[in-house]
Copies of this chain bind each other. A is one copy, B any other.
Amino acid sequence: MQNNKLPTIKEIAKKLNVSVSTVSRALHDHPSIGLVTTMRVHKVAKELGYEVNKSAIYFKERKTYTIGVIIPSLAEPFFSSALCGVEDFAGQFNYNVIIGQSLDSFEREQRIVENMKDHRVDGILVSLTKETSTYEHFDNLKKYNIPIVFFDRVPQKKDIHFVSCNLHSGMLQAISRFVDAGHKKIGLINGPAKMAATLQRLEIYFKCLKENNLPINYDIIASTTLSKEDNVKAIKKLIDQEEIPTAVMVFNDYVLLDCIATVKAAGLEVNKDISFISFANLPIWEYMDTRPLASIEQFSYKQASIATDFLFKLIDANNKGESTEIDYLQQIIDSEIVNY
């Protein structure tokens, strides 16, 4: 029904008997075009409902004003909140955001990177898959001059741009909180061994224990693959002892939910017989009856915002053709505990 064809600069030119270059310049109010002509062009453009064809410009400029975000899962509040940060920030710069869910599959991550590269995005933000331990698929992007900034789940290497969260500050606050409350036996429920976050949490846990002059006791350290039954198994390991830990650091809120249910079922009272502090990834505790003492907040929104800022800096540098590789943009923000 509608006229399928959108008006172009050519049609304006024809209508006014001027050249397309004149029209183009007039539309940009270029000084070399006379005032009358400029006005006439604007008038006709408006009449025709002309709008630039951005696809043409993207093509010509070799830019798309689009950035890609690769996150493990949209369903996780931690990441949807991060995406929110990206979107808010990118929107202000009139950039579009395309998303890709890796669903924690390395293969999907590769495919998404490939796809975004094909789409010629101007830059990519990534939070890695649990499985990701090699980074060739990202290194490839350098050939295409597509900058990449990692956030939260970042590669274990130094020659990258990234934003991550320092668990030490939060964990230290957490342990202090426990210690101040009189706890001496502070356990840990950790994640899957292959996740970078797991090793990190363990190291920092040790470090913080040391800083508080507490002994390391492997009987009160458990790990889980994050499945429900494994979570239950982990907490059961800790409470199936004569002398159970009175405080436990828990890998994340999902795990903690299972822990809470399990200890309750075992007849223990949370925050009395046993206290918890978790690494926050669910914004639910304020609505819950049974809460951990506190959570260690890792500020996904903030991380993502900073990462996006970095990305725009890099894209900018690209535009200006600053071939001299600028320094790696890296920022580690402090985690903090939030009390409940």
Contacts and interface: CB of A to CB of B under 8 A. Distances in A.
Interface residues of A, number: 52
Given A1-B325, A56-B59, A74-B84, 12 more contacts: A1-B323, A2-B143, A6-B144, A55-B55, A55-B58, A74-B80, A75-B81, A83-B99, A94-B115, A97-B99, A261-B287, A289-B290
Contacts of A261: 287
Contacts of A110: none
A96 B119 contact: yes
Contacts of A325: 1
Interface stretch (A36-44, A46-54, A175-183, A243-251): A46-54
Given A1-B325, A55-B58, A66-B98, A287 B289 contact: no
Contacts of A118: 51-52, 54
A62 interface: yes
A212 interface: no
Contacts of A74: 80-81, 83-84, 87
Contacts of A55: 55, 58-59, 62, 64, 120
Contact of A119 (B54, B59, B323): B54
A288 interface: yes
Nearest to A56: B59
Contacts of A51: 118
Nearest 10 CB-CB pairings of A with B: A80-B80, A59-B59, A55-B59, A74-B84, A257-B287, A96-B98, A289-B289, A98-B98, A55-B58, A74-B80
Contacts of A144: 6
14 contacts: A1-B323, A52-B118, A55-B58, A55-B59, A74-B83, A74-B84, A75-B80, A77-B80, A80-B80, A83-B99, A87-B99, A87-B100, A94-B115, A96-B119
A56 B80 CA distance: 32
Interface string A83-125: 1100110010010111111000000000000010011100000
Interface in A126-163: 142-145
B288 A49 contact: no
Nearest to A77: B77
A2 B97 CA distance: 26
A84 B94 contact: no
Interface in A268-307: 284, 287-290
A1 B91 CA distance: 31
Contacts of A2: 142-143, 145
Interface in A291-340: 323, 325
Interface in A178-203: none
A213 interface: no
A143 B1 CA distance: 9
A84 B101 contact: yes
A4 interface: yes
A105 B58 CA distance: 29
Contacts of A323: 1, 4
A97 B56 CA distance: 20
